[in-house]
Amino acid sequence: AQKVTQAQTEISVVEKEDVTLDCVYETRDTTYYLFWYKQPPSGELVFLIRRNSFDEQNEISGRYSWNFQKSTSSFNFTITASQVVDSAVYFCALGGGSYIPTFGRGTSLIVHP
Amino acid sequence: SQTIHQWPATLVQPVGSPLSLECTVEGTSNPNLYWYRQAAGRGLQLLFYSVGIGQISSEVPQNLSASRPQDRQFILSSKKLLLSDSGFYLCAWSVLSSGRSLKQFFGPGTRLTVL
């Protein structure tokens, strides 16, 4: 069975601080995909990134970066110099070639001005 | 480009009344379609998914049902709503190609309040 754990329920930071959202996963699949989604207050989930299990290169996109470590089954997400607009719920998800991804429970990020 | 629509955006219904939420996808063919519910606890609960017309898989037994009358249309229904049906309902689609799990695209959601 697949499982995604986002242990941080809520994180509160002040603007310009760096923040890391943790994601730990469990799967028996040898090929799988990891995702991060952002859910702003409007409610719609927005896709941020997909990473396949064969690619452990870290990725950076502007202020966002992702650290994929197969050895620890983690796919952490870091926001550098956080901004108020980053306030949202962030979901980590795992897909393993089936139709159904497994979502974590989400981490609520609050960035204070 | 692909787009996904959901309506209505918000809905307030009395207990015991019927429900029909609609989701349509444009710009793609034969998508996998999903209904999720997000209750106050924020987690996403998969309710139904469909890999083709008339093919519905239920993940959680409840008083809700889903139908897929057309390739790009997914409907969530209930004959009698319960208070516990309140929540934020999200429709999503994805394309599964060569056994690879591709990313999901989510609709804007419907906020349902059952009174």
**Over pLDDT 70: what percentage of chain A?**
97
User: CB–CB of A66/A75 below 8 Å?
Assistant: yes
| Chain A residue numbers touching B101 (CB-CB < 8 A) | 32-33, 95-99, 101
Structure confidence by residue, pLDDT tens digits, B69-97 = 999 999 999 999 999 999 999 999 987 66
Q: Is A3 on the interface with B (CB under 8 A)?
A: no
Average pLDDT, chain A: 92
CA distance B48 to chain A (A): 10
pLDDT band at A71 (very low <50, low <70, confident <90, very high): very high
DSSP B63: S
Strands (E), chain A: 3-5, 10-14, 19-21, 24-26, 33-39, 46-52, 59-61, 64-69, 74-79, 88-95, 102-103, 107-112
Select the residue of B43, B49, B102 nearest A105 (Cβ to Cβ): B43
Task: Check whether A57 has a pLDDT greater than 90.
Answer: no
Q: Determine the pLDDT at residue A63.
A: 95
Structure confidence by residue, pLDDT tens digits, B55-65 = 998 887 678 99
**Lowest-confidence pick of A17-31, A47-61, A91-105, B97-111:** B97-111
Q: Determine the pLDDT at residue B41.
A: 66
User: CB–CB of B39/B31 below 8 Å?
Assistant: no
User: CB–CB of A92/A4 below 8 Å?
Assistant: yes
Distances (CA, A) of A84 to A2, A6, A8, A37: 33, 22, 19, 17
Q: Is B54 on the interface with A (CB under 8 A)?
A: no
pLDDT band at B100 (very low <50, low <70, confident <90, very high): low
Mean pLDDT of A83-105: 89
How far does Cα B44 stand from its chain's mean position? 12
Mean pLDDT of A7-27: 96
What span, in angstroms and rounded, lies between the C-alpha atoms of A43 and B92?
Answer: 13
Task: Check whether A93 has a pLDDT greater than 70.
Answer: yes
What span, in angstroms and rounded, lies between the C-alpha atoms of B52 and B88?
Answer: 24
Mean pLDDT of A59-80: 94
Structure confidence by residue, pLDDT tens digits, B8-34 = 999 999 999 999 999 999 998 889 999
Task: Check whether A97 has a pLDDT greater than 70.
Answer: no
Q: Determine the pLDDT at residue B4.
A: 93
Please name the residue of chain A whose CA is at the shortest distance from the CA of residue B104.
A47
Q: Determine the pLDDT at residue B60.
A: 79
Q: Which two tokens stand for residue B1?
A: 């480009």
Q: Which of A75, A81, A72 is closest to A19 using CA atoms? A: A81
Q: Is A103 on the interface with B (CB under 8 A)?
A: yes
